[in-house]
């Protein structure tokens, strides 16, 4: 069975940003290069290092932890170039707007696939079903998102407390000081973390919908359900309605009145992700797995698509 991410260096991703940079502006743009850290963990360290509140930093997407990644971030404040183990900052320029979710064109990947047999050959693929991968869901993420969407904030807070490493200590401290203020406790987490919970619930629904269209020849768009969702495709509408009924959800639930900053209007997502500029290296000796081979892949994907699924599809 093939292996990826045996080493952080086996999985490299570079963000191709859509941000326009200049020499002036309120926001400084910097290249964040990191290893063995999530984007949130890296920014919290930088926030502490330069004594700048975390909410003054922006980024386009959360990059893998067990990887070497490069992405463009912004800050309203002054930072300087630094380099220490696992984290590096390089100043790129300035501009008038922060980097926000989705401010990128594509992601470029270089992946080492290990533990291959000596005659193992990858499949020839130009696209994959554009599923959200397992890292989107993590521990309890869809359940937390669903609880928030349904207004079950006590349930959401308790689920967050069960999810290690996601700021559960701040939630617990708030509840100790403010008994039953579950909304306030949840707001102790960064907004982007809370949005991940909402998106995780939406992603679960999208994946289940997409599974019904795997054999489609046409790259249609399927809904990421929100309060403004209108589905023209009859088959997709029927599938989504059944899923929502089973989950005791409706599109209007995504208008979260007690936490309006987490409300989601919904959008659409391509059924397929195109694999661009795919290059497959020769099989080489795998120094980590005796008697096995390794292979290096490089390719580009549209934003929001998962390279792990490409590697899996090529060698499954």
pLDDT tens, residue by residue, 23-48: 999 999 999 999 999 998 999 999 99
Determine the pLDDT at residue 36.
Answer: 94
Give the contacts of 21 (CB within 8 A, at least 6 positions apart): 29, 92, 93, 94, 95
The string of pLDDT tens digits covering residues 84-104 is 889 999 999 999 999 998 899
Compute the distance between CA of residue 281 and CA of residue 298 in angstroms, rounded to an integer.
8
**pLDDT at residue 163 above 90?**
no
Residue 137 vs residue 26, higher pLDDT: 26
Compute the distance between CA of residue 256 and CA of residue 116 in angstroms, rounded to an integer.
48
Compute the distance between CA of residue 311 and CA of residue 307 in angstroms, rounded to an integer.
6
- Name which CATH class applies to 19-102: alpha beta
Bridge partner residues of 272 (DSSP): 129
Compute the distance between CA of residue 294 and CA of residue 112 in angstroms, rounded to an integer.
7
Write out the residue limits of the CATH 3.30.70.3160 domain(s) in the chain: 19-102
Per-residue pLDDT band for 207 (boundaries 50, 70, 90) equals very high
Query: For a pLDDT cut of 70, what percent of the chain falls above it?
Result: 99
Torsion of CA 199, 253, 99, 11, to 10 degrees: 0
Determine the pLDDT at residue 135.
Answer: 79
Decide: 161 and 167 in contact? Cβ < 8 Å.
no
- Tell me how far CA of residue 251 lies from CA of 140, 143, 149, 163, in angstroms: 21, 17, 10, 27
Per-residue pLDDT band for 121 (boundaries 50, 70, 90) equals confident
3-state secondary structure of 272: strand
**pLDDT at residue 289 above 70?**
yes
Determine the pLDDT at residue 166.
Answer: 58
């Amino acid at each position: 069975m093939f292996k990826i991410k045996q080493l952080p260096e086996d999985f490299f991703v570079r963000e191709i940003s859509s941000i326009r940079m200049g020499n002036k502006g309120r926001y400084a743009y910097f290249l964040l290069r990191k290893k063995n850290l999530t984007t949130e963990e890296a920014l919290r360290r930088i926030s502490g290092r330069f004594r700048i509140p975390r909410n003054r930093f922006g980024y386009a997407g959360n990059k893998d932890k067990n990887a070497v990644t490069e992405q463009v971030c912004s800050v309203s404040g002054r930072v300087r170039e630094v380099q220490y183990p696992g984290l590096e900052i390089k100043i790129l320029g300035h501009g008038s707007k922060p980097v926000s979710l989705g401010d990128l064109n594509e992601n470029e990947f270089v992946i080492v696939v290990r533990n291959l047999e000596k005659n193992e050959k990858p499949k020839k693929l130009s696209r994959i079903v554009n599923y959200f991968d397992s890292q989107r869901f993590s521990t309890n993420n869809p359940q937390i998102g669903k609880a928030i969407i349904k207004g079950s904030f006590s349930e959401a807070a308790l689920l967050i407390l069960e999810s290690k490493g996601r700021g559960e200590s701040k939630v617990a401290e708030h509840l100790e000081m403010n008994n039953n203020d579950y909304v306030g406790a949840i707001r102790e987490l960064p907004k982007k973390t809370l949005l991940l919970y909402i998106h995780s619930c939406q992603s679960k629904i999208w994946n289940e919908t997409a599974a019904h269209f795997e054999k489609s020849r046409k790259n249609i768009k399927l809904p990421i359900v929100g309060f403004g969702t209108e589905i023209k495709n009859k088959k997709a509408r029927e599938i989504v309605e059944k899923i929502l009924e089973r989950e005791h959800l409706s599109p209007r639930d995504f208008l979260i009145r007690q936490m309006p900053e987490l409300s989601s209007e919904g959008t659409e997502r391509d059924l397929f992700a195109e694999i661009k500029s795919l290059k497959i290296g020769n099989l080489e000796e795998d120094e980590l797995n005796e008697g096995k081979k390794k292979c290096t892949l490089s390719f580009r994907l549209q934003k929001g698509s998962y390279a792990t699924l490409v590697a899996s599809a090529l060698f499954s």
